[in-house]
Structure formats: C-alpha cells, structure tokens
Amino acid sequence: MTDFTQFPPSFTWGVATSAFQIEGGATADGKGPSIWDTFSHTPGKVIDGTNGDVACDHYHRYPEDVAIMASLGVDAYRFSMAWARVQPQGKGAWNEAGWDFYDRLLKELESKNIAAHITLYHWDLPQGLQDEGGWLNRDTAYHFAEYAAEVARRFGNRVKTIATHNEPWCTANLGYGNAQFAPGVADLKQSIQVSHHLVLSHGLAMSAMRKVGSTAQLGIVLNQWTADPATDSAADKAAAEFEYSRSVEWFMDPIFKGKYPALALKVHGDNAPVVQDDDLEIAHQKIDFLGVNYYFRAFCSTETPPRQPECKLGKTDMGWEIFPDGLTELLLKLHADYELPPIYITENGMANPDTIVNGEVPDEARIDFVKRHLKALNDARLQGVNIQGYFLWSLLDNFEWNSGYAKRFGIVHVDYETQQRTPKHSALWYRDYLIQQRPQKSAHAA
C-alpha cells in the first residue's frame, strides 16, 4: 500500500508511552510501589516472569528518548505520570524528587519544541491506596482529584493536554473482571462498581483541575471499538449490541449524556453499580478533547466454539485482527451519537515480532498497518469528524503488562540487556511521512 494521505497543516503528529511500561526506576528517589510493581513481582502473573523494575530505564535515559523523538520530527509526546512517584502513598505527602523528574522531562521536551500531552492515570495505582480497597473504595476517586489538581497546578501551563484516565475499561474489566491485569481481581460485580468510581473520579478531577485555572486542554482517553455480529443471527446481533453498550457506551454515556446506557444497565441487573446522588452530574461535564485508542473490532459470535473473523489483513503479534475499516466506522458512529469535542487518536499501533537484522529492524507489516489506519481516520475526518491529531503507539518497545517483554509495539527497538535503542524501519518511515506532511517546513529547512 503506497497511498499518501495528506492532512491539514495544523494536525498534530505524535508518539505515546506510559510510565510503568518504560520508566523503570521502581524505587528511585522516593517513589512508592504501585499495584503493577506488586502484581509483576507475584509469580505467575506475568507470562515471561519479568517485571517493570528497569523496563526501558527511561527514568535515567529520557534525554536520549526525547532526542529520538526530535529526530523523527514529531510535534507531540503523550506520556503518563506515575502517581506513586509524586505521591508515594496516593495521599498525603508529595515527593519533590518525583516532581523534579517530570519537570526535567518537560524542560527537555520544551527545548526540542515537542508539546507534552499528559495522562494522569495509566493503570499504576499507588499500592498504599490499593491496601485501602483501591478503585473499589469510593475514597480513591477523591484522592485522584487531589492528585489531578496538583498536576494541573504545577504543570497545567506547560502542557497541551491533560487526560484523566487511559482506558478505564481495562482498569475495570482486566484489573477487576478477569484478573488479567493488576490488582488481579476476578469479580464481575466489583469490576462494574470500579468502572463507576473511575467515571466519578474523572468528573471530580475535571472539576478540581478547572478550579486551578491552567491553560491545558482537559479530557479523557478511552479504548473503543465497533462490535460486529459474526452472522446475521438474532443471537449474534444481540451479542454485538450488548458488547458495544457495555464497553463504548458504558463510559461515553455518563460523560456525554449524564446516564448509563439502558441496555447494559438492564443486563448487568444485580451487578449494576451503586450510584450516589449527583455522581452522574459530576461525570457529565464539558471536556476539551476526547482521546480514542483503537486497535481492533469486537467480533461477536454466540456459537460454540465462537466463529472467528476472516482476518483478511492478518493479525498482530497479540493475535488481534487487523481491521482499519473499524476505525472509520467507530468514529462516524461516535460522531452521530454524541456531541463530541475535538478528537485525538491517542493510541494506534501493532505488536510485531521484530528482530535486528544487520543492524536494522525491518517491520514493514507495521508500516502497512499505520498507513491503512491513517487512511481510515482521514476517511472519517473528511466525513465531518473533528480529528486533531494522531499518536503512534508506541515510541519504544516496552513492558507489555502481563505479556512482559515478549511483545514489541515500539517503532524503536530496545535491547533490554544493553538498553540500546535502534529505530525500526517504521520509525524512519514515520519521520519521512511527517516531512511529506510539512512541505513548507522542509523547504524552509533546505
């Protein structure tokens, strides 16, 4: 696929990472433990038996990583902050050494004219709060709002955007629904209650950050997908309708409509969350942007065993179907169903079994993946969806949660023994693609 898709000059081009996946420095300079420190050190929880103690050692190597971003010509860097690094217990005393790290990172980005897009929470709850019930404890939502306000107070005039949560669906469903992620609970009722506390915490944090008066745009990042029935059977169609309701609408409706979707609420039945007065009013407030993470569609089959999609474009190394048309369909559906703020595609990318060959890392499958998804999002943009930017996931190979270091999402290869960074073919392609997007910039440079 060689088609070149031209975007407006104002379009933001970025790369993304998350704190626990790249920082390392697990106990450096007063950082407290997070639930992922605990989870990854629990035997049997991570497939390859690894942990995030060192990861990509970004805590010490951030200048090199920012220099790589600059060499690629990206406009923006989306990263998360480790809550336990700046507030070791998740409440109480702040850790100034932790704040100093993010201050240094922001200065490094500012020196390269790369805009910072911060995510407050990418799954690494301070263990101190987990010991008091974690997200199942309503109080955690209020502690989160205090943390959010402090970030906005310190950094809100130095960053482009602040997102409250990254993929709260994963926090609730993988952390509390099937125990795949930290803290490792498998309880449907708890997962649904946790999802509500996450929605509440988002609203509380938005209000708290607004009061600080920073210039950053405020929003949230949600992982989303279309849900397609495997066949025309009534059962498959019903399964697809419920899947979309319990995943996409479950988080979108409280934020944009001030209520939970009726279908999911009905099916959840006795497992529906306890919602106090004003909770949904708190959640339902204006946001400045919506971050959308897209990797695959849901393919819904009620057969035993479930029918599988054709996967005409293949699968990623995670086993996920490559289905770029789903991104267009998703964005158009969201556009039709909600009054949306500007959208950023905050994550999109693929795991690939990359290896170094003669000093290079060929990953042409990833280049094809990104091209197809950029065309898909532009198709939605041309049909009226206000999409302001694209963040490729991920800058670096990193700790891929319960898969450990076995899955490589980066456009830069990381040798975890030596910490050597090697830009893959996809990184070089992205660099050249961005030059093509900015003919006036490259002409000026020449």
Residue 82, strand partner residues:
none
pLDDT of residue 5: 87
Tell me the per-residue pLDDT of 391-404, one tens digit each, with 9 for 90 and over: 999 999 999 999 99
Q: Which of 115, 118, 111, 95 is nearest to 31 (CA)?
A: 95
Residue 413, strand partner residues:
422
- 295 annotated ligand-binding residue: yes
Residue 192 placed within a domain? yes
CB-based contact 408:48 (threshold 8 Å)? no
What's the rounded Cα separation, in Å, for the pair 190 and 377?
A: 35
Q: Which of 23, 108, 150, 167 is an active site residue?
A: 167
- 400 annotated ligand-binding residue: yes
Q: What is the domain count for the chain?
A: 1
pLDDT of residue 246: 98
User: Crossing angle, helix 58-72 and helix 425-437, to 10 degrees?
Assistant: 50
* CATH code, domain with 370: 3.20.20.80
Q: Which of 265, 270, 263 is nearest to 240 (CA)?
A: 263
Written as tens digits, the pLDDT of the chain (446 aa) is 556 889 999 999 999 999 999 999 999 999 999 999 999 999 999 999 999 999 999 999 999 999 999 999 999 999 999 999 999 999 999 999 999 999 999 999 999 999 999 999 999 999 999 999 999 999 999 999 999 999 999 999 999 999 999 999 999 999 999 999 999 999 999 999 999 999 999 999 999 999 999 999 999 999 999 999 999 999 999 999 999 999 999 999 999 999 999 999 999 999 999 999 999 999 999 999 999 999 999 999 999 999 999 999 999 999 999 999 999 999 999 999 999 999 999 999 999 999 999 999 999 999 999 999 999 999 999 999 999 999 999 999 999 999 999 999 999 999 999 999 999 999 999 999 999 998 765 433 43
pLDDT of residue 439: 73
**DSSP code string of 196-246:** HHHHHHHHHHHHHHHHHT-SSEEEEEEE---EEESSS-HHHHHHHHHHHII
Residue 49 placed within a domain? yes
pLDDT of residue 145: 98
Q: Which of 150, 243, 249, 347 is an active site residue?
A: 347
Residue 445 placed within a domain? no
- 329 annotated ligand-binding residue: no
Burial classification of residue 83, based on how many CB atoms lie within 10 Å of its CB (0-12 exposed, 13-18 middle, 19 or more buried): buried
CB-based contact 330:244 (threshold 8 Å)? no
Q: In angstroms, how far apart are the furthest CA atoms of the chain?
A: 66
Q: Known catalytic residue: 167? A: yes
CB-based contact 349:366 (threshold 8 Å)? yes
**Per-residue DSSP letter, 174:** I
Residue 135 placed within a domain? yes
Q: CB-based contacts of 120: which residues, under 8 Å, 6+ apart?
A: 80, 81, 83, 144, 147, 148, 151, 162, 163, 164, 165, 205
Pairing of strands 412-415, 420-423: antiparallel
CA distances from 242 to 18, 245, 266, 402 (A): 30, 5, 10, 27
pLDDT of residue 442: 43
What's the rounded Cα separation, in Å, for the pair 21 and 434?
A: 26
- 166 annotated ligand-binding residue: yes
- 364 annotated ligand-binding residue: no
Residue 443 placed within a domain? no
What's the rounded Cα separation, in Å, for the pair 227 and 392?
A: 23
In this structure, the number of other CB atoms found within 10 A of the CB of residue 36 comes to 30
CB-based contact 78:391 (threshold 8 Å)? yes
Q: Tokens for 394?
A: 């991920």
- 21 annotated ligand-binding residue: yes
Residue 191, domain extent: 12-437
Residue 386 placed within a domain? yes
CA-CA-CA-CA torsion sign (342, 346, 347, 348): positive
In this structure, the number of other CB atoms found within 10 A of the CB of residue 281 comes to 11
- 310 annotated ligand-binding residue: no
Tell me the per-residue pLDDT of 267-324, one tens digit each, with 9 for 90 and over: 999 999 999 999 999 999 999 999 999 999 999 999 999 999 999 999 999 999 999 9
**Per-residue DSSP letter, 126:** B
pLDDT of residue 443: 38
Residue 444 placed within a domain? no
What's the rounded Cα separation, in Å, for the pair 67 and 108?
A: 9
Pairing of strands 420-423, 227-229: unpaired
- What single-letter amino acid sits at 389? G
CB-based contact 206:217 (threshold 8 Å)? no
**Per-residue DSSP letter, 392:** E
